[in-house]
Amino acid sequence: MRGRVTCAFYRKMGIEDLICGNEDEFIETAYRLAHDRPWRQGLSARIREKSSVLFEDPGVVREMEDFFARALEEAEKRRRDLSI
């Protein structure tokens, strides 16, 4: 789940350099992150520059609010159904 969320965040920011399609790509990317300092610093800078896409989007906040409201309603309904 965490990997999918992170992948979605990177895609939303338009940064696909860290998205891996298989184990070999993952290993290559991890190695490059560990050993290619300029590349890593460039990625870090791009992530910082694009972070507002994630953290300053009111639509995302509304989606989360809706999700939690629906989850709470469903939990309350199940609780009431089990009490009967």
Q: Is 16 within 8 Å of 10 (Cβ atoms)?
A: yes
CA atoms in the 13 A half-sphere facing the CB of 9: 15
Q: How far, in Å, CA of 25 to CA of 46, rounded?
A: 21
* Domain count across the chain: 2
Residue with tokens 């298989």: 22
User: What 8-state DSSP symbol labels residue 83?
Assistant: H
Let me know whether 42 and 14 are in one domain: yes
Q: What is the pLDDT of residue 21?
A: 92
Domain that holds residue 18: 1-50
Count H helices and E strands in the chain, helices first.
5, 0
The model's pTM is: 0.65
Let me know whether 35 and 66 are in one domain: no
Predicted confidence pLDDT, tens digits, the chain (84 residues): 778 888 999 999 999 999 999 999 999 999 999 999 999 999 999 999 999 988 888 887 888 899 999 999 999 999 988 876
Q: What is the pLDDT of residue 30?
A: 97
